[in-house]
Structure 1
Amino acid sequence: MEGASVSGLFFVLKGKVKVFRTGISGKEQIVRFATKGEIIGHRGFGTEEFYSIGAIALEDTILCYFSKNNLQEALLNNPKFAYDFMLFYANELNRSESKVKSISQMTVRERVIDGLLYIHRKFGANKGFLDIALTRKEYADYAGTSEEQVIRVFSALKKENLISSKGKKIGIPDIQRLKNEISEHNFYLDS
């Protein structure tokens, strides 16, 4: 929970999780999504006393918890693990910096497309649709815009046959055509 005392971190063994931070006026900003094999709660690890983010399971999820003490002991006793963890944090920092760049330099349309491509890379597709059902508000919270803007962008993308939809499910009929819409922004950094 955002604001809770740091006690450790979690590895996602199964399921899908959204990681968020509460911003101005209580608005939720989705920082990233996590799935099998990924870590959540690591941003509070180290010198932090409180978690600066929160996480919510988007489907049935199984987590493996490591206490702060057990993790610190493992890092001190296993240099390879400590090195891999350092690389993980360096990659996380790179992704965060890329996200800030995209939010500041892309138009709303480009940010929404970037979000769709990120979700496609993260979760893949199943039967022609992204393998996660998100609300329009969740797409907006990830792209740093409003739900109304996402609805407008989705409507335009549907008219251009760049996406399809069925309820909450979004399909991307031609991934390359969608990538071409934002190719100048190097969206590949945020996998």
Structure 2
Amino acid sequence: MKEALAHCNSCNNENCFIKKHLHLDKMKPFLDKKNSFLCKKSHQFIIEGAPMQGLYFIKKGKVKTIKTGINGREQIVRFTKDGDTLGFRGFGTSKRYLIGAYALEDTVLCNFSNEVMLEILHTVPEFTYDLMLFYAEELNKSENNIRKIAHMNVRERVIDSLLYIHRKFGQTDGTIDIALSRKEIADFAGTTEEQVTRMISSLKKEQLIETTGKRIGLLNITKLRTEIMDHKYI
């Protein structure tokens, strides 16, 4: 990891939790206590089970968060991008990270230590209230996703995963704006690499998607959504 300053006042991430509260006078003194650094592609900066080192906020880049499952297999539980928050699940409870996190590309991260975060929570009530709402929303998303996935077959899981990744990162020049391996898609969809490869091949033959190397483009989003509509696609 290398030092890479990121200034909140010039940040363009309006959805960043810190950026949203810059207008509060009580928040401004804490900005000088923030650390920022560059995490190179494929580097792990949060280790599952390690002691909490505060919360991370993505200034620019893409990250995957993982959870170790049965037989030590890594399950991708979330993809994140500019402005997203990381490491919040263990904060204030277990005091250890409940997930691991890897940079999917060179990523600039901002970090507030445990001590600073606790100071913010005790000093800035607006921030604390909004963080509580954020936790509630994330918990609701997780519970809904668990129920949805439990009733999906392999094809539906792959389609649902591709639609999510498309919503998260968008599509540029005909392909989703991130290159993921078939294994990474499988680890997110909760299936195997072989099954993902077969499903992608099938979806290509049906002209619902196209591929260029690791990159995938969605050709008929409406039809893909229709396939999983029974699972209340959002």
CA distance in 1, matches of 2:199, 2:147: 20
What is the match of residue 218 of structure 2?
172
Cα distance in 1 between the residues matched to 2:89 and 2:81: 16
Which of 61, 76, 83 is matched with 1:15 structurally?
61
Runs (4+) of structure 1 moved beyond 3 Å? none
Q: Which residue does 1:71 correspond to in 2?
A: 117
Q: Distance in 1 between matches of 2:187 and 2:152?
A: 15
Unaligned runs of 5+ in 2: 1-46
Where do residues 84-163 of structure 1 align in structure 2 (5 Å cutoff)? 84-163=130-209
Q: Share of identical aligned residues, percent?
A: 58
- The structure richer in helix per residue is 1
Q: What CA distance in whole angstroms lies between the structure 1 residues aligned with 2:122 and 2:162?
A: 39
**C-alpha deviations, 1:119-175, integer Å up to 9, x for none?**
000000010000000000000000000001101111111111111111101010121
- How big is each residue's C-alpha offset from its partner over 1:93-125, in whole Å with a ceiling of 9 and x where there is no partner? 011112211221111111110000000000000
In 2: Cα distance, 1:109 partner to 1:35 partner? 26
Question: 44, 57, 64: which one pairs with 2:90?
Answer: 44
User: Number of aligned pairs?
Assistant: 188
**Aligned-pair CA distance for 1:70:** 0.7
SS of aligned partner of 1:56: strand
Counterparts of 1:187 and 1:6 in 2: how far apart (Å)?
34
Bigger Cα Rg: 2
Alpha-carbon displacement from aligned partner over 1:66-93 (angstroms, at most 9, x marks no partner):
1111111111111111111011101110
1:9–1:67 CA contact under 8 A, matched in 2: yes
Q: TM-score, normalised by structure 1?
A: 0.96
Distance 1:104 1:148 in 2: 20
Which residue type is aligned with residue 176 of structure 2? L
- Indicate if the aligned counterparts of 1:125 and 1:131 stay in contact, CA closer than 8 A: yes
Partner of 2:16: none
Match of 2:128 in 1: 82
Structure 1 residue ranges without an equivalent (≥5): none
Computed over aligned residues only, the root mean square deviation of the Cα atoms, in angstroms, reads: 0.9
Instruction: Provide the rounded CA distance (Å) in 2 between the counterparts of 1:101 and 1:135.
Output: 26
Measure the CA separation in 2 of the matches of 1:35 and 1:82: 23
